[in-house]
Each structure stands twice: as C-alpha cells, then as structure tokens.
Chain A
Amino acid sequence: MTARMLLFAALAAFCVGCGDDDAATAPTDTEQVFTSVTYTGTLEVGAARFYSFTNNASGSVTAFLASVTSVDSKQPVAVPLEIGIGIPAGTGCAATTTQLVTPGLVTQLSASLAAGVYCVRVADAGEIKAPITFAVRFVHP
C-alpha cells in the first residue's frame, strides 16, 4: 500500500515537472520610441508648406502650432493657421486630418498611423494679411 502511494506521488511530481518552461518566463516590456520635431518656416499669404517624416512604427502622431509671428514686426500674431497630417503626394501634402488653430502649447491634432512616410502641413486658411513665421511641434513614433 505504501509502495503504491509512493508511485502515485512520483507520477504526480512527474506531471507537475513536465510543464512548458516558456510559460514561466517573465513578460518583456516594449517601450516605444518617439521623435519630437519642431518645424519652423515662413508662410506667405495664401500659401502652404509641408514637412515629411517617417513613422518607424505604428502609433500616435500629435502636433500643435507653437507660435505665429509677423515677419516684419517679429511680434506674435493672433491669427489661426490650418495644420494637418497626411501623405506626401505630388508637389504637396495630402492632409487627411486638419485643424484650424491658434498657437497653443497643448496637442491640437492627433492621428493614429501605421509605419510609413507622412507629412505635416501648415497652410494659410485665408486669415493672414502678410508673411508670418510659424513653428509647429509634432511627435511621432
């Protein structure tokens, strides 16, 4: 009887000991790396400009209009500009997400994008009366 119990105990230990070792490994954390870009330039009346970038992985791209100043006076100008995120196409940027915004230091535009080549577009939506200098800050994977 004792020998039979010992045999059952050995079988039980065998069943436990033959588990999949992979399940016991600790999960690894994947930390996404983001790149911050400050895009500055001069915008003429009625014009648009764009900046291309490469998303190295899928993830969220965020942008905001950091500043708008007059080329002549160098003073801040309270006029809205259109900022957008899209795909370079032809001689421009085909923006798929746009916002009309005034400068602010919070996220004003966001898009969830796959890995690939995209662009940030800045355009006069008919509000500026003279050339301005802009700064757009965006972050992408």
Chain B
Amino acid sequence: MTGGLLLVAALLVSGCDDSSSATSPSDTSTTTTTVASPTTTELFAGRVPVGGATFYSFSVIENGTVNVTLADVGGSNVPSTVWLGLGIGTPAGEDCTAATTINTAAGSAVHLTGTYAPGVYCVRVWDIGNLVAVAAFNVTIAHP
C-alpha cells in the first residue's frame, strides 16, 4: 500500500509542471502601419527678421506623410532667391525644436517630407545669415 501511495505522489508532482510550457507555439503576427496621404494644406504666411526665426504649429491626426514647401520669399531688399532655413519639429518652450532641416530657396517642389505619427508638430523658418531686411514668406504644409 505504501508503494501505491508513493506512485500517487510521484504522479502528483509530475502534474505540477508549468502547463504554459505545454502549449503549442503561436504564430507571429505582423502589424502593418498605414501611411496616410496629406488631406489638409495649411498656409504659413510669416515674416523673418534679420537673424530671427518664426514657427507655425499643426496637428497630424493620423500616421501619414507631411510635405513642407517654401513657396515664395520676398520683401524690400530681399531677393526672391534668398536661402532660408526650413525645418519640421516639435513645439518646445517659445520656439520649435526642428528635428529635420534644410537650407533652401523658395520653389514649387516639396522641400521637406516625412512620415509622422499623430501629434502636434511645427514648421520653423529662420534666417541663416543671408538677410539684410525682414523677409516675408509663404510656406505650405500638407498633412493628414
């Protein structure tokens, strides 16, 4: 009888094994993130003082493409071909911390593009040392 009890005890101990290890492996699923095309275009019409900067904030409502174009630059004593700094970033403090930047003249082609998650972003325009007078500019921001 004692031998029978030992057998029962041995079976019980083996029954306490972690059942999770006995499960069959699950399939690995792949998550696909959709990249939406721009659905809204905002016009940032501003002025950059000599040595200064300005910025414009906008909200991306779904993961998608943001296109930024410095459409034109002008003003008294400001040639339309002057190069300015252009960037996309995040509003921080009293400025915009630009994470992606380019120095460029105005043109019709997209100057900055990227894929952005939903959130608040900003476009920053600044003098890179070329201005001798306040420059007026137009920037278009196309985003989801």
Majority secondary structure, A binding face: strand
Residues of B within 8 A of A6 (CB): 5
Q: Check A90/B56 contact, CB under 8 A, given A18-B15, A18-B16, A117-B120.
A: yes
Binary interface profile of A, 64-92, with partner B (CB < 8 Å = 1, else 0)? 00000000000000000000000111110
Distance between Cα atoms of A18 and B93 in the complex (Å): 56
A3 touches B120 (CB 8 A): no
What's the A-B contact tally at a CB cutoff of 8 Å?
60
Distance between Cα atoms of A53 and B93 in the complex (Å): 6
A10 touches B9 (CB 8 A): yes
Distance between Cα atoms of A7 and B5 in the complex (Å): 7
Partner pick for A91 among B9, B15, B54, B120, CB 8 A cutoff: B54
A53-68 CB contacts (< 8 Å) to partner B: 53-54
A7 touches B8 (CB 8 A): yes
B120 touches A87 (CB 8 A): yes
CB nearest neighbor in B for A41: B94
B76-95 CB contacts (< 8 Å) to partner A: 90-94
Q: Check A14/B16 contact, CB under 8 A, given A7-B5, A117-B91.
A: yes
- Interface flag for B59 (CB, 8 Å): yes
B56 touches A119 (CB 8 A): no
- Interface flag for A50 (CB, 8 Å): yes
**Residue among A17, A49, A51, A88 with the highest chain B CB neighbour number at 10 A:** A88
- Interface flag for A46 (CB, 8 Å): no
CB nearest neighbor in A for B19: A18
A52 touches B93 (CB 8 A): yes
Partner pick for B93 among A14, A51, A90, CB 8 A cutoff: A51
- Interface flag for B12 (CB, 8 Å): yes
- Mark B residues whose CB is within 8 Å of A: 1, 4-5, 8-9, 12, 15-16, 42, 44, 46, 54-59, 90-94, 119-120, 122
Q: List 30 A-B contacts (CB under 8 A).
A: A3-B1, A3-B4, A7-B5, A7-B8, A10-B5, A10-B12, A14-B15, A14-B16, A17-B16, A49-B94, A50-B94, A52-B90, A52-B92, A54-B90, A88-B57, A88-B120, A88-B122, A89-B58, A89-B59, A90-B44, A90-B58, A91-B46, A91-B55, A91-B56, A91-B57, A116-B119, A116-B120, A117-B119, A117-B120, A119-B91
